[in-house]
Structure 1
Amino acid sequence: MRPGGTQPSSVMHPRRPCLRVPAPRALALAALLLTCAGVRAADPPDSAMAAATGETLPDIVVTATRSEQRRFDAPAAVDSVPVDPLRSATPLVNLSEVLAGVPGVAVRDRQNYSQDLQLAVRGFGTRSTFGVRGVRLYVDGIPATMPDGQGQASTADLPNAGRVEVLRGPFAQMYGNASGGVVQVFTPDPPKDGFTARASTGFGSDGQWQAGVALAGGNERLGGSLDAWTYQTDGYRVHSAARRYQLNARVVAQPASGTRVTGQFNYFNQPLAQDPLGLTRAQADANPRQAVPAATQFDTGKNVEQAQAGVVVEHQLSDIDSLSGRLYGGTRNLYQRLGFSGAAPTSSGGIVDLDRIYGGGALSWSRRTTANGLPLLWTAGVEANGMRDGRNGYVNQDGSQGALRRDETNTATDLGAFAQVDWTFHPAWQVVGGVRASRVRLGIDDQFITAASPDDSGTATYSNVSPVLGLVWHALDSLNVYANLGRGFETPTLTEVAYGPGGVGSNLGLRASTSRQGEIGIKWQADGQRLEAALFDADSHDEVVPQSNNAGRTVYQNVNGVRRRGFELGWRGGFLGQVGTPGQGGGSRIEAGLAYTWLDAYFGDAFVNAQGQTVAAGNRLPGTARHSVSAEVAWRPLAPLTLGAEMRVDSRVYADDLNTQAAPGYAVFNLRAGYEFRIGAARAYLFGRIDNVTDRRYIGSVIVNEANGRYFEPAPGRRFFIGLRAAL
């Protein structure tokens, strides 16, 4: 027993009912292709502070250490952000809309749907110029990160999500090839007692339009949902229009007591995503809406189509043993036009045509028992994932496909095995220890061999053992103190090993980056208030950075002594009592939250960069802000009405390793309002928001080490979005 007489919850068995949040009452089932999913009336509040609805955040179940537990008891820095698409005063298109209030996380909407979000955790992932690296992504237990470590955040179904979890620090290593953290999106179960329907639509500045429908139904044994949504925009900048469509289906069956089967299908289609490319600082200051001439000349942008299916089976073997397994597979087709012709014989071409097949499986076992009368949880598992890319490159003849310049098959596989023990060895003390063995193999089979383009074929194998150890002191019912240490690794991606020095051959000799990480933190919660703080330190060796760029072929190298250390603070709470009916639009009259991050990320050793210049020891890691602040407050003067304000502050961000180019610091303010009402039997929510109220000009994101010196991607000025959602 913990001091005060309560049982530690964090070591209880996965799926134990007392730990699970009640399943929200609606998901989705039947669809329309031009629509954007509505929401569930009973979902938890949407933002990290729950400010949109005024309800106090539940201490919901998280999966930080490969087993479910209360986030308050996890021996790590972990945030679980509830999502309520009915009462969220935001379009719910990008993860940046829900993760802005999580300390330690930098997620930037680039206003460029051709390149995806920039997502980094504690400074890991900042080197990526497209996609997500250094951070593992999962959607409903299925990896959205490929075996080589590169992931895509755009396919997550946020309009129907129930929560988004973010794990930072050493325990991320239990998930394999990741260094900074893990981001998981979870969809709630279909209702178990009937049928629900939802619909939504909205429009805003720069030609934004969104619409969606969702239906769901079921009983105790079988439920299903289907939703579809669309989003389109003309773009803030010239040549930045985008259209995307998504269809998601889910079936949850419980054929026997103790057995649960979840099947899911996802289809994502982005037929238009123009790329305005980056700007120089002078161009961004003169006209932030412009695109460089190369963008229109080469019609830069990409088309993406992805389909994926998976099944997750959970079975209770006995009162103390359970098994969980998953199988999944999918295809991804990408056609991308880059901002150069690629006509040179040594070039890989200015057009990328990729056909991908991927899939994998995993099996894990858990046993909940006791030692000396106190809870003991064992977990062990194995997993395997693989992908195969057919990759062609062509000359970009002013937006049209020209001669072949690249023809190869790329493969990546990863095998992993892990074991973990979670033991409350004293009523006030808990230890969590684990180890993971990983093996990643990259392969290139080159079929385009000429005098100017020699054979790039080859393989590389990376193996690593990642131990992690955490300790929690349950000092009070309201106070936990924890510390952890761990070691992890991050392999280069297939993109980063594609070209060798001088742009000739491959670079399969590139080494995997390894890191040693540690953190200490506290978690306190009482009387509707929650405060969390963490100090962390990470030391990386063989970090992957650019070495040269030749005819569109970026060559990477390893450097040592990269250091990331910092402090994270998060607070949220409610004030002034209750208004309305709790759970039905009720809650505190004022809800507020604050997230602060201090990050000192720098190169500890000097090295020669892509321009042949020496990067001095002590230079800051590009793409990282030293100080970041996010604040939010919501006021509910009346039960159906919510008024909110948001603030985001970032300090200066360097764009290159030399620290000669930087985006200045900025502060932006947003306003929002929402009104909930009924139309017959349907609940409706009308909302509106104004972003960047002061119309501040600022750089929203930087393209790290951009070869042409066009580092900067301006953020939009003042703009609005208005939406209407309904649930039956």
Structure 2
Amino acid sequence: MLLPQQLLAQGQYSGYVLQRDTEQPLQGVTITANTGEQTISNEQGYFTLATAAAAQRLVFSYVGYKTEVRPNPKVGQELRVLLQPSAASLQEVVISGYETNRPLLQTAGAVGIVGREVIGQFDESSVVRAVNTVPGVRMEERAPASYRISIRGSSLRSPYGIRNVKLYYNGIPFTEANGTSALNLMDAANIESIEVLKGPTGSIYGAGTGGTVLLEPRRAAAGEQSVEVGATTGSYGLRRYTATARIGGKHSSTLVQYAKQEYEGHRQQSAMDREVLLLSSEFSPSEKRTVSANILYSDLYYELPGALTQEQYEQDPHQARGGMYGSVAQNASMNQKSMVAGLKQEYTFSDRFRNTTALYGMHRFRDHPFNTDYERNTNQEVGGRTSFAYTAQLGSIEGTFTAGAEYQRGFEASRTYDNNGGKPDSLRTDDEVVAKTGFAFAQAEFKFPADVIATAALSLNDTKYEITRLHQASSGNYTYNRDFKAVLSPRVALLKRLTDQLSIHASVSSGFSPPTEEEILTSDGQLNEALEAEKGTSYEAGIRGFALQSRLTFDVVAYYFRLKESIVSRQDVSSVAVFRNVGSTDQKGIETSMGYTLLDDPEQQLSLLKVWASYTFSHFRFDEYQQNENNYSGNKLTGVAPHVATAGLDLSTRFGLYLHLTTNYSDKTPLNDENAVYTDSYIVAGGRVGIKRQLGQRFGLEVFGGADNVTDEKYSLGNDLNAFGGRYFQPAPGRNYYGGLALKYKL
């Protein structure tokens, strides 16, 4: 008779603990019952807790997060607990970029973070506005989906596309073996977070003097089973649709996402149509092994309106480049279909020894009528990356040793034709290009007493191009091989943690960046055999931390970067970009980001109120630059604004209402090496307002609206540098609006 009463008095509790804003699992959360029993959550955020008597409350506590109390939990009912990060921990994210997975406060390097919550502060038609909140980073859109990223002025050699910056997606190389990155294959909805490593990172990520961008894909949270649909409409014919299915279990998760975006354009010949399908999955066959797979398919079409002269820009910024070889007449546009598939495994041999290995394959077809020619090419690429990490205790010193390698091989079949009114005409060139690039790296990190962390790293990099010209109308066939000499890229860094909330760091790093295939083999079919790789050394020092009871966060970095054999681009009479080495550049800068949380209490009606700002100062000069009879030594570096600032305000309420306001300032910018033409300075402001509500236990609804460039500022974004005929200006959209909704259903 007493046994059933004893069973009723016992309790068995289980569930998942997730981060509130990202719904990612939290490992190591302590769960304590009022009866005294304790447990912690595992890698999937899952926990089980048996109590001798029914618990009146469960307490969930985790460093950097607000404690959550669940009164009178029901026995046998699976719990789903969302922990709210404190103001300080929002900046105390774990940095994966240097292979040691340390918190930002313990990372010796200039790092910028763009989380899902920042991406969601804008309309998600692109990630441009979100990325531009990071100091020292500038992302431009010359036309819808025609992106360019500059990290500390690295766009000097990028008349179009992304160069001199390495991109990775879920640890898999997204920059191709030929040195270019097609970020426009993705939709903003495919990205969970963006981690930007500024300056040369060749010691870990190979060739590149600009920096490295690490992209994390969206995933289903543990215990989540849901479907979600969303729609957005806006000015200039913006239409955007998304559909997402998530299934997250104890040891696996799967996310399937479809996104379609259409845009009629704010200028003539500036429409865009993109469809993206993402499959993202992760599973753990054992406690030691985690496997993740991603398949990304993209069908992208966008038009190229072309740049305008100052007179055309002032007269009508909505027009496209005109004339016989104008953008409309020649249907200047890009049509490409791509598929990228990647597989990554993380294997833990022991508490001290682990390995991460990733393999990928890519296929892309591109159909590209341009103003002066017509290009058709097909790319196929394979590659992989592996790294081993071992942690050892050397007396009172903890050491982590990392070694690995990366290799990529790409093959491109490329043909160029005369462009006859947007249709391919006579064949000009027929090329086969094989690009091979790879590097081996090693890193040692030591954690000394007195909270000092020292890092030394080194990589050996090699790049080779094999070009076979099967046809050329004027000069015949040939074979050309270019093997750049293997280069060592070292990095030394030191960090001192002064207090639990303050650290200082310094580093010296060097890198090299060989020309891309497009810089050696230009679109007019000419070979640029004399072009050499850039080489540079960067010195930087910084301080970051929290103050005023962790309400204030700050991160300040000063650097000096000397680049030799700098590559610059100029346009010839046919608008073909021509690349040349021009000696050296001298780049000094300061990057600052700050945030102050006035209120952060989810129990209050006004639950969050935060202001933040970032500022970039750039003193960039050509050190040695002689072009024929012209000496540009001492001139300002082309395409770099001396002062850039971004500021914002974030507000949310317990009811679910939120507001995000953002303002961006950019100083006047030189558009040619002569420093004879400048853009005007400008201020662009925008905002987003919305409401998120849970409708019952299964439905969630978000309704939102926003505006960009609310003052209808006239400015140019993604200018053509050193353009022939004075065609420098790529007008940005005027005042524009958007609105939409998202509906989520929990299965």
TM-score (norm 1): 0.87
Question: What residue is the counterpart of 1:332 in the other structure?
Answer: 364
- The one-letter code matched in structure 2 to 1:354 is N
Query: Using the alignment, how far apart are the partners of 1:265 and 1:212 within structure 2?
Result: 17
Which of the residues 586, 589, 592 maps onto 1:569?
592
User: Unaligned 5+ residue runs, structure 1?
Assistant: 1-14, 26-40, 341-349
1:644 matches 2:660? yes
Deviation at 1:91, TM superposition (A): 2.5
- The one-letter code matched in structure 1 to 2:541 is I
- The one-letter code matched in structure 2 to 1:460 is D
Question: What residue is the counterpart of 1:82 in the other structure?
Answer: 115
Query: Using the alignment, how far apart are the partners of 1:72 and 1:602 within structure 2?
Result: 32
1:117 matches 2:147? yes
Query: Using the alignment, how far apart are the partners of 1:638 and 1:671 within structure 2?
Result: 20
Question: What residue is the counterpart of 2:133 in the other structure?
Answer: 101
Task: Note if contact 1:23-1:188 (Cα within 8 Å) is conserved in structure 2.
Answer: no
3-state secondary structure, aligned to 2:305: coil
3-state secondary structure, aligned to 2:311: helix
Query: Using the alignment, how far apart are the partners of 2:28 and 2:720 within structure 1?
Result: 46
Task: Note if contact 1:598-1:627 (Cα within 8 Å) is conserved in structure 2.
Answer: yes
Which of the residues 716, 724, 731 maps onto 1:699?
716
Structure exhibiting the larger radius of gyration computed from Cα positions: 2
Which of the residues 599, 614, 618 maps onto 1:595?
614
Task: Note if contact 1:606-1:617 (Cα within 8 Å) is conserved in structure 2.
Answer: yes
Deviation at 1:24, TM superposition (A): 9.5
Residues 275-286 of structure 1 mapped to structure 2, 5 A cutoff: 275-286=304-315
Query: Using the alignment, how far apart are the partners of 2:621 and 2:348 within structure 1?
Result: 48
3-state secondary structure, aligned to 1:702: coil
1:635 matches 2:651? yes
Deviation at 1:316, TM superposition (A): 0.5
3-state secondary structure, aligned to 2:410: strand
3-state secondary structure, aligned to 2:706: strand
Give deviations 1:70-100, integer Å, cap 9, x for gaps: 1221100112221049x92423232213212
Question: What residue is the counterpart of 1:8 in the other structure?
Answer: none
Residues 491-640 of structure 1 mapped to structure 2, 5 A cutoff: 491-499=514-522, 506-526=527-547, 527-546=550-569, 549=572, 551=574, 553-580=576-603, 588-608=607-627, 614-636=630-652, 639-640=655-656
Deviation at 1:103, TM superposition (A): 0.6
Deviation at 1:427, TM superposition (A): 2.6
- The one-letter code matched in structure 2 to 1:67 is T
Query: Using the alignment, how far apart are the partners of 1:478 and 1:285 within structure 2?
Result: 51
Question: What residue is the counterpart of 2:165 in the other structure?
Answer: 135
Question: What residue is the counterpart of 2:501 in the other structure?
Answer: 478
Deviation at 1:550, TM superposition (A): 6.1
3-state secondary structure, aligned to 1:298: coil
Task: Note if contact 1:162-1:187 (Cα within 8 Å) is conserved in structure 2.
Answer: yes
Residues 254-333 of structure 1 mapped to structure 2, 5 A cutoff: 254-270=284-300, 272-293=301-322, 294-333=326-365
Question: What residue is the counterpart of 1:63 in the other structure?
Answer: 96
Task: Note if contact 1:460-1:509 (Cα within 8 Å) is conserved in structure 2.
Answer: no
Query: Using the alignment, how far apart are the partners of 2:702 and 2:688 within structure 1?
Result: 13
- The one-letter code matched in structure 2 to 1:633 is L
Deviation at 1:705, TM superposition (A): 1.8
Deviation at 1:68, TM superposition (A): 1.5
Question: What residue is the counterpart of 1:722 in the other structure?
Answer: 739
CA 1:101 to 1:42, structure 2 compared with 1: closer, same or farther past 3 Å? farther
Question: What residue is the counterpart of 1:690 in the other structure?
Answer: 707
Deviation at 1:237, TM superposition (A): 0.6
Q: Choose 72-81 or 430-439, whichever is displaced more.
A: 72-81
Task: Note if contact 1:547-1:554 (Cα within 8 Å) is conserved in structure 2.
Answer: yes
CA 1:578 to 1:514, structure 2 compared with 1: closer, same or farther past 3 Å? same
Deviation at 1:325, TM superposition (A): 0.4
Question: What residue is the counterpart of 2:416 in the other structure?
Answer: 393
Query: Using the alignment, how far apart are the partners of 1:576 and 1:383 within structure 2?
Result: 46
Query: Using the alignment, how far apart are the partners of 1:309 and 1:43 within structure 2?
Result: 32
Deviation at 1:44, TM superposition (A): 10
CA 1:677 to 1:218, structure 2 compared with 1: closer, same or farther past 3 Å? closer
1:178 matches 2:208? yes
Give deviations 1:516-565, integer Å, cap 9, x for gaps: 11100001124232101010111011111236736555432212121111
Query: Using the alignment, how far apart are the partners of 1:622 and 1:42 within structure 2?
Result: 51
Which of the residues 444, 458, 461 maps onto 2:484?
461
Query: Using the alignment, how far apart are the partners of 1:260 and 1:101 within structure 2?
Result: 33
3-state secondary structure, aligned to 2:328: helix
Higher RCO, 1 vs 2 (CA within 8 Å, ≥6 residues apart): 1
Between Structure 1 and Structure 2, how many residues are aligned?
671
Deviation at 1:723, TM superposition (A): 1.7
Deviation at 1:504, TM superposition (A): 7.7
3-state secondary structure, aligned to 2:184: coil
Question: What residue is the counterpart of 2:52 in the other structure?
Answer: none
Q: Choose 489-498 or 692-701, whichever is displaced more.
A: 692-701
- The one-letter code matched in structure 1 to 2:416 is G
Q: Choose 260-269 or 538-547, whichever is displaced more.
A: 538-547
CA 1:555 to 1:696, structure 2 compared with 1: closer, same or farther past 3 Å? closer
Deviation at 1:173, TM superposition (A): 4.5
- The one-letter code matched in structure 2 to 1:152 is A
Question: What residue is the counterpart of 1:150 in the other structure?
Answer: 180
1:208 matches 2:211? no
Query: Using the alignment, how far apart are the partners of 1:614 and 1:453 within structure 2?
Result: 35
3-state secondary structure, aligned to 1:365: strand
How large is the RMSD of aligned CA atoms in angstroms? 2.7
3-state secondary structure, aligned to 1:699: coil
Deviation at 1:16, TM superposition (A): 11
Query: Using the alignment, how far apart are the partners of 1:578 and 1:319 within structure 2?
Result: 38
- The one-letter code matched in structure 2 to 1:670 is G
3-state secondary structure, aligned to 2:647: strand
User: Unaligned 5+ residue runs, structure 2?
Assistant: 1-24, 30-40, 47-79
Deviation at 1:374, TM superposition (A): 3.3
Deviation at 1:466, TM superposition (A): 0.2
Question: What residue is the counterpart of 1:346 in the other structure?
Answer: none
Deviation at 1:605, TM superposition (A): 1.1
